[in-house]
Amino acid sequence: MRFLLTSILLALLPLRAADPAPLRLGIIGLDTSHVIAFTKTFNDPAAPNHVPGGKVVAAFKGGSPDIESSASRVDGYTKELVEKYGVKIYATIAELSANVDAILIESVDGRPHLEQFRQTLAAKKPVFIDKPLAGSLKDAVEIVRLAREHKIPLFSSSSLRYPPETFASKFAKIGDITSVYSIGPAEFEPHHPDFFWYGIHCVEALYTVLGPGCVSVQRTRAENTDIITGVWSDGRVGIAQGNRKTFKGYGVTAVGTKGVATAGEKQNYYGLTAEIMKFLQTRISPVAPETTLELIAFMEAADESKRRGGAPVTLAEVLKKAGAK
């Protein structure tokens, strides 16, 4: 009798919902170390800082023959993805997009991002685009416009936005932040505007702390260092310093009404990959595409300031020129 009652009670208990199947992830562009790092983080439960919820199952090779650091990496990363993780290589982006649940555009070259994104639109899948969002402000404006028009969830970010110790926790005790100074390496690549290639990291960190709202920038250029000084609409000041033949580390120093603190010196990919997975699952971007577009405009305005000998340039001017509405 006791066995019968136990069986009845168990039968009446609500069934536990099964865990959702992992998302099938597709990568476009196998020319950056991110494709291996991200795939290991998503696919390998034994990996340090494993992020569950999805697995990379498909890829499109891509690659840019006129950038050595792109062309020389594609075959090696393709081989590792196929042999170690069983990833299927597709001949076209359209085929890949039809056979996955979500897409990561990882091409290290920002120039093909617009066309690659355009080829995913019909699939209506959420898309993460690694830094830089595009190879020009004009292309970035078009990507954001297309995402809005086709209702495609879109997220783009550098890993510098998500350090192991968050900016919020490190700056919690310094009061209202009045100015921020962000440093990082900024090697230039001739096919991209200056800060788009690597300097975008320190700019992303700057925007993480200050948020959007920059009005104008000025650029100071020297042999080993470039400095962008931005003024925000509420009077705050943000400085991004890109270093070349000098210290190559990162760091963000914030000045507040109650003190000064530095954060962001330590970096890894965990914070970004965790946010990518959350975005792909919820289809809600943690960073508004308009904010990403503004930081691209920040870098473009800095280039224009350099062309004008360091004169101030407004973000509104460069956005208008790029076709932003």
What is residue 18's predicted lDDT score, i.e. its pLDDT?
58
Q: Which ranges in the chain are annotated with CATH 3.30.360.10?
A: 161-270+296-321
CATH 3.40.50.720 in the chain is located at 23-125
Q: What is the pTM of this model?
A: 0.92
CATH 3.30.360.10 fits 161-270+296-321, yes or no: yes
Output the pLDDT for position 15: 46
Q: What is the pLDDT of residue 10?
A: 46
The CATH fold of domain 23-125: Rossmann fold (3.40.50)
Amino acid 9: pLDDT: 46
Sheet containing 260-263: give its strands across.
Answer: 260-263, 251-256, 177-185, 237-243, 225-232, 214-221, 313-314
What pLDDT score does 6 carry?
Answer: 46
Query: What is the reported pLDDT for 248?
Result: 85
Asked if residue 214 lies in contact with residue 238, where contact means CB atoms within 8 angstroms, the answer is: yes
Residue stretches of the chain with pLDDT short of 50: 1-10, 12-13, 15-16
